[in-house]
Amino acid sequence: MVDIAGNIAKVHERMEMAEERAGREAGSVKLMLAAKYQPIENLLAALKAGERLLGHNMIQQLKTAEEGLTAAQADGRAAAAGVADIAHTTTVIGHVQSNKLSQAMRYAQRIDTVDSLKTAQQIARRQQARIEAGEARPGEAFPILLQVNSSGAPTQFGCEPNQLIEMAAEIARTLPLVSIRGLMTIGANEPDDSAAVIRSFEITRQLGTQLRALPGLAHATELSMGMTHDLELAIEHGSTEIRIGTAIFGPRPQK
Ligand SMILES: *Cc1c(COP(=O)(O)O)cnc(C)c1O
């Protein structure tokens, strides 16, 4: 059995130590749980421990988990697990194919992996349809983060750093039904090369500064970066939100 509550407490300790080292306020960085492959019992354990931010990579798992939590609330399993209220916020942190966008927007409150104008346009069109169907308020914009490929690895999704600001400006200027809240990055996947990891985070942080200088984007302050092995570096280099899976749920079950 994985001690999810205990692991969550340990992650918060790591976060607080990094916040202190970086001269940042204790508790100012948000913790998002990377929920891939987790059964409902584990998500309930995390909610019981007080966490309220879930991130999903795969849209099918997003749907299953959201429906599962709603069902657990309805049939009393949530209450039995010590969760009086399952209220939480869910975010998409994996690449979304265009044919999955409508499900993504139904079950999640933000999409953090937008890396092209085309995807933003599709989200805007879909949001217009949601408004017409009464699923969103008139004029309500759908929140997104722009994903940056800050490591340069060809296998990573994300917009090229040197194209990001132009893309962001175009989205902000032409798509009022999409609301850019900040940036997301995976960063260099090089646990033994902290200089490369730091470089990724600094590229992202600097793009965040440029982003906020664009018209209408002064509030796009979110920087989602940092995972189990590099959360300290991420917090020391400006992260506002880390995404943690392994340190909380243990090694991922294989499919
Ligand atoms: C799985 C995942 C994480 C969490 O990674 P861990 O190393 O398990 O903490 C964070 N971000 C994304 C996009 C992920 O897919």
- The label of the residue with tokens 């600001």 reads 165
> Which residue has better confidence, 182 or 191?
182
**Ligand 1 surroundings by CB, under 6 angstroms:** 34, 36, 57, 93-94, 186, 227-228, 243-247
Look at ligand 1, atom 6, and give the residue with the nearest C-alpha: 245
- Per residue in 122-153, pLDDT tens? 999 999 999 999 999 999 999 999 999 999 88
Q: How far apart are CA 33 and CA 230, in angstroms?
A: 15
Residue 156 Cα to ligand 1 middle (Å): 13
pTM above 0.95, yes or no: yes
Residue 243 Cα to ligand 1 middle (Å): 6
Residue 191: the pLDDT is: 85
* Ligand 1 atom nearest to 252, measured from its CA: 8
* Ligand 1 atom nearest to 243, measured from its CA: 10
- The label of the residue with tokens 């490591």 reads 151
pLDDT at 27 over 80: yes
Q: How far apart are CA 183 and CA 207, in angstroms?
A: 8
Look at ligand 1, atom 12, and give the residue with the nearest C-alpha: 93
Residue 255: the pLDDT is: 55
Contacts 24+ apart (CB under 8 A), 17-25: 17/232, 18/231, 18/232, 18/235, 18/236, 19/235, 21/232, 21/236, 22/235, 22/236, 24/235
Residue 146 Cα to ligand 1 middle (Å): 17
Residue 193: the pLDDT is: 92
- Per residue in 207-252, pLDDT tens? 999 999 999 999 999 999 999 999 999 999 999 999 999 999 998 7
Q: How far apart are CA 231 and CA 29, in angstroms?
A: 10
Longest dimension (CA), the chain: 51
Residue 254: the pLDDT is: 63
Look at ligand 1, atom 10, and give the residue with the nearest C-alpha: 243
Residue 1: the pLDDT is: 80
According to DSSP H, which parts of 49-193 are helical?
Answer: 59-74, 77-80, 101-107, 117-132, 161-174
Amino acid at 99: N
Look at ligand 1, atom 13, and give the residue with the nearest C-alpha: 93
- Per residue in 28-42, pLDDT tens? 999 999 999 999 999
Residue 188: the pLDDT is: 92
The H or E element that residue 95 is part of is none
Residue 73 Cα to ligand 1 middle (Å): 27
How much of the chain, in percent, has pLDDT values that exceed 70?
A: 99
Residue 80 Cα to ligand 1 middle (Å): 29
Task: Band the pLDDT of 74: cuts 50, 70, 90.
Answer: very high
- Per residue in 150-178, pLDDT tens? 998 888 899 999 999 999 999 999 999 99
